[in-house]
Amino acid sequence: MMSEPDFPAWDGQESVADYAMRAGLPPTKTLDLGSSVKMELTLIPAGSFIMGSPEHEKPVVGQIMAGISGGLVFVVVLVLLLNAWKKRRRPQFSLTFTMVMTFVAACGVWGYVRWNDALKHTDDRVNEFPAHVVRLTKAFYMGRFDVTQEQYQQIMGANPSSFIGTDNPVENVSWADAHDFCKKLSEKSGETVRLPSESEWEFACRAGSAAKYCSGDSEEDLERVGWHDSPITNSTHPVGQKEANRFGLYDVHGNVWQWCQDWYGDYSATPGIDPVGPAQGTDRVVRGGTWHYKPGDCRSAIRECYDPDYCYNGLGFRVVVSVSIRRSDRDN
């Protein structure tokens, strides 16, 4: 028999405050980093979601449409031209024939567009397939913002960032740097501070949305919540300047990539419960896109990976604090 989840599942509609009340947990948490530097976190509910991207139409569909339409137009026109040449007269095309051939040619163009679009999406998103059900049985707290340079400086005593700004996200940090930050902050705060698993990250980013972005499907929706490549974006930006998602998280799209705990690996079609990725690997997962990436590369499902020691000015992170209280403890 399947064991009961540690925490009640989010119903997909209630606010974080309402869920927190139902779960018997504070809706927010604040960590004191010292010297008046604080870190704000918000409660992320337990719950289920579809992780990854639905697989797009196979390229062969558009390829067949384009091939048949193009071949039909070519053969018919060739036959008419040959007949006209044999009879030593100019080819005659009726209005009906012209309209039919125009329609067939349009179908060919449409098929080519579909073929090209399918190829593009397959190439770009192959590591996001198959979409699969994930159930997170534990609530947790996640930083409302990417870790800032001020926070990183306070804990680590250094600031490796290229784009200096107290409230800008720290960047030029490797996975190993982010892991060390979590370890030191755990020791200082007495809390279990860590990087999020990849599934935790995507669940928190989506906040109940199945769209491309937590805010919707269009680039205008992305503009409301995230920094990406644009004429006014040539560096990172201070955190929290865009809108938050439903869970109260800022900058989940763009600004900086965010390291996750997991080793990188292929998805499984099998539904997962609290998945944590492969047991070993060569690269760690990053999520969310960054300030110089195109909108399509800042989606909720986008995933890349880097060597744990790699760093550059588009790599940052946000932290998670584990909740150790179990529902059985709260009910006593």
* In the chain, domain spans: 16-52+137-331, 59-126
Instruction: Record the pTM.
Output: 0.81
Please say whether the structural domain 16-52+137-331 has been given the CATH code 3.90.1580.10: yes
Per-residue pLDDT band for 111 (boundaries 50, 70, 90) equals low
For range 231-252, the mean pLDDT: 94
- pLDDT for residue 266: 94
β-sheet with 140-143: strand ranges across: 28-34, 37-44, 140-143, 320-322, 193-194
Choose between 68 and 230: higher pLDDT. Answer: 230
- Total residue count of the chain as it appears in this document: 332
First to last CA, the chain: 23
- pLDDT for residue 211: 95
- pLDDT for residue 77: 65
Is the model's pLDDT at 261 over the cut of 90? yes
For range 196-210, the mean pLDDT: 98
Is the model's pLDDT at 5 over the cut of 90? no
Is the model's pLDDT at 329 over the cut of 80? no
For range 54-79, the mean pLDDT: 62
How far apart are alpha carbons 196 and 247 in whole angstroms? 15
CB-based contacts of 226: which residues, under 8 Å, 6+ apart?
213, 242, 251, 252, 253, 254, 255, 289, 298
Q: For residue 238, give Cα distances in angstroms to 173, 251, 255.
A: 17, 10, 9
